[in-house]
Chain A
């Protein structure tokens, strides 16, 4: 029976990883940009929520609602001012610029907030749990998983049911022809990065409330997110959720065997999937 519990915990943890991954997947899907600073942006958003919580004394959920538009504007400016210049055939500039950005964000956070680990307090919600038969799950992990599903449903709705989503897909297909239809690709990309950073803010809310964080935890989140995206198959958001769940379950199963194996087990699961299905579980037909 302990196994069921382990797997349920792993699935819920996968929801967190899917949240980390959704923004990465979105940005890659629309502009073929792999953002190596993605993990650090999550950490940055967590600090932003923390500041809003401690300065204004607000509930973390309300703080996240305030932080989200700020992150959107930051993403917009970042994309329009810096990252749009790196897009093109050559993969080096976007990789190296976002890698540089990662180092800058980490160290700027270090200067601003020191290396002490922080946590956003949720009060009684942190320990609240619900039981179903032999399994007891925390309310917060459950909320995380529900948020992940909501984010994916929401992004899919934007993508396939709205005019801005239509513009995203068209620009992703062919930016030159899109511009002939009145679309300004660099604006579309800027708004996509803004949207990704709203998702990042949601991810940050759960990152900051479920565990301690410090300026250096970003790259590890980037790796989990990246693994979830690759396992799921590039461009499929539901695949990303499946990928997150696989990493999460592998980690909790690994940890139940030997606590030191938690992270390693997740990475090994990723390598195994890569070995069997190099294009992921749900690859997109056209690429």
Chain B
């Protein structure tokens, strides 16, 4: 019996879920042909929140960088999209790349400041930076100063692909824009999840997991903690900036208060990750669905919704720190995105 061992991260559930994910993606792409406009809008919301949650999870769940200031990158990315379309006439879809790029540029001085603070003080430091950016942007008169502005009509009409969607699906231009935004959000969310999953399975990514589990041990095997923190912080800013640009591109209107809202872009995102399960890729997916369902169910109760969300987040942090997905995964052993490498022997399992 020549048992050759191999290292694998694959589990049966993961193979099944890989196929399911591809099918799901295909369905999601063609969905606008059947779905109502409100469903497309809901899905846009879910996908963009999911993207933000995945990046926050990458920061806090994998790298220990608990940021309460991600709204800085959402808002700055969004404002750069408006600024570059209004001032330089860039096509809004192309301007999304600028959203990410400028958020990345903002992240460099930000990291320089906040990495001087450790632990909890890092968290409030990021918040201060976000406030500084919000107050500074509010001084920028070309995009409406403190009151904000709308995306100009000609810029909206010039969006790549809208005309084609109008003809193909036989819809009005406002609906066509929603479909385009939905596709972009779908691409962004898929790329984010795929990218993070790929990253976590690379040597660097595994080092990141080692870092989270034990900083000293990771150092002793040559993981440069500081460099990893920089990389993750910049990548998260880039992705968060694009998501911010996309959210306000679909919204069509921007103001400093909405673009830099700590509740919307950070509190909700944190609750999504915590409720779903921090430190897993599955967690934010479960979390965003729970979040959306709760929001729909409690829509008529105003502030009660936020109280419930806050209490749920506290309860999970106190009694089930690994979130809903953690509870499920512990009971069933199922992992959809296995990261840990397992030793596989051919005569046992995997056959």
Contact = CB atoms under 8 A, between A and B. Distances in A.
Contacts of A34: 119-121, 123-124
Interface residues of B, number: 43
Dominant secondary structure of chain A at its interface with chain B: helix
Interface stretch (B99-107, B166-174, B287-295, B300-308): B300-308
B267 A96 contact: no
B217 interface: no
A93 B271 CA distance: 12
Interface stretch (A84-92, A123-131, A205-213): A84-92
Interface string A83-109: 001100001111111011111101110
Contacts of A58: none
Given A86-B318, A99-B68, A264-B135, A91 B307 contact: no
Interface string A185-201: 00000000000000000
Contacts of B136: 264
B317 A97 contact: yes
A102 to B, nearest CB: 8
Nearest to A219: B262
A260 B314 contact: no
Given A92-B278, A97-B317, A260-B139, A103 B116 contact: no
A92 B66 contact: yes
A95 B120 CA distance: 7
Interface stretch (A7-15, A49-57, A60-68, A221-229): A221-229
A275 B117 CA distance: 11
A70 interface: no
A230 B121 contact: yes
Interface stretch (B31-39, B126-134, B234-242): B126-134
B198 interface: no
A271 interface: yes
A260 B267 CA distance: 27
B135 A267 contact: yes
B310 interface: yes
B278 to A, nearest CB: 7
B314 A82 contact: yes
Contacts of A91: 64, 66, 119-120
A100 B313 contact: yes
A24 to B, nearest CB: 10
Contacts, number: 115
A104 B128 contact: no
B97 to A, nearest CB: 29
Given A263-B135, A270-B128, A100 B120 contact: no
A150 interface: no
Contact of A100 (B123, B129, B263, B310): B310
Nearest to A258: B139
A181 interface: no
Interface string A263-274: 110011011001
B135 A103 contact: no
Contacts of B263: 103
Contacts of A93: 317-318, 321
B316 to A, nearest CB: 9
A260 B116 CA distance: 28
Interface of B: 60, 64, 66, 68, 113, 116-117, 119-121, 123-125, 127-129, 131-132, 135-136, 138-139, 146, 262-263, 267, 270-271, 274, 278, 302-304, 306-307, 309-311, 313-314, 317-318, 321
20 contacts: A34-B123, A34-B124, A86-B318, A91-B64, A93-B318, A100-B271, A104-B306, A107-B304, A108-B307, A110-B303, A111-B304, A111-B307, A223-B124, A223-B127, A263-B131, A267-B132, A268-B132, A271-B128, A274-B113, A274-B117
